[in-house]
Chain A
Amino acid sequence: SAVISQKPSRDICQRGTSLTIQCQVDSQVTMMFWYRQQPGQSLTLIATANQGSEATYESGFVIDKFPISRPNLTFSTLTVSNMSPEDSSIYLCSVDPPYGRGEQFFGPGTRLTVL
């Protein structure tokens, strides 16, 4: 399995500010995903981050609000920009290991509260 860490684990932020979440994997992976889990809800995919190309965003999510970096095969960042209370969620990164058995592994998540 892949071991994934995220920083910060939680944060409380003021409205209008931005927060960058880091995701680090212990092995090289092609695809990394960023999901959002709003309180009491399921997971919704924000975007897919591929190394060497721009992230692919899902409907309802835009690059200006959620810029993503993917500088190498083991690391990605997600920024939540100009935050509002509606952005309060758990943000999770996930990886699809290259050995192709279909599993996806998740980081521990970043719990964000926007005041």
Chain B
Amino acid sequence: GEDVEQSLFLSVREGDSSVINCTYTDSSSTYLYWYKQEPGAGLQLLTYIFSNMDMKQDQRLTVLLNKKDKHLSLRIADTQTGDSAIYFCAESRPGANNLFFGTGTRLTVIP
């Protein structure tokens, strides 16, 4: 299909780990991204992974990439209330300069 898919909602308790999943469409995508959007704000680039990698870690964030299944995940360790936001995955596709976004996952962190 054409769509980048994500679950719409995720709730976790403060201090737990959050895992946000994404299924993308193009097996030849070069980069895959995670963006964070807080209420009333624009998009903040959190991290990205090149398609020849299967894992990238950056402080509390871990990105896992399964190219065979076209599955991307973002794990947030020790989730804080400030992590409450909408998280978008996005892919770059060959021949296109823009990014293609998922539907977004609204993460709610319960104190």
Residues of A within 8 A of B (CB): 1, 6, 31, 33, 41-43, 45, 48, 92, 94, 96, 101-109, 111
Contacts and interface: CB of A to CB of B under 8 A. Distances in A.
B80 to A, nearest CB: 22
Dominant SS among interface residues on chain B: strand
Categorize the interface residue count of chain B.
Answer: 20 to 34
Contact of A48 (B45, B50, B98, B104): B98
Considering residues B42, B48, B99, which has the most beta carbons from chain A within 10 angstroms of its beta carbon? Answer: B42
B99 A104 contact: yes
Given A31-B97, A42-B104, A102 B50 contact: yes
B8 to A, nearest CB: 9
Considering residues B33, B35, B99, which has the most beta carbons from chain A within 10 angstroms of its beta carbon? Answer: B99
Contact of B42 (A31, A48, A109): A109
Dominant SS among interface residues on chain A: strand
Contacts of B42: 6, 92, 106-109
Nearest to B44: A106
24 contacts: A6-B42, A33-B98, A42-B88, A43-B43, A43-B88, A45-B98, A48-B97, A48-B98, A92-B42, A92-B43, A96-B97, A102-B30, A102-B33, A102-B48, A102-B50, A103-B31, A103-B48, A104-B33, A104-B45, A105-B45, A106-B44, A106-B45, A109-B41, A109-B42
A6 B42 CA distance: 10
Contacts of B101: 42-43
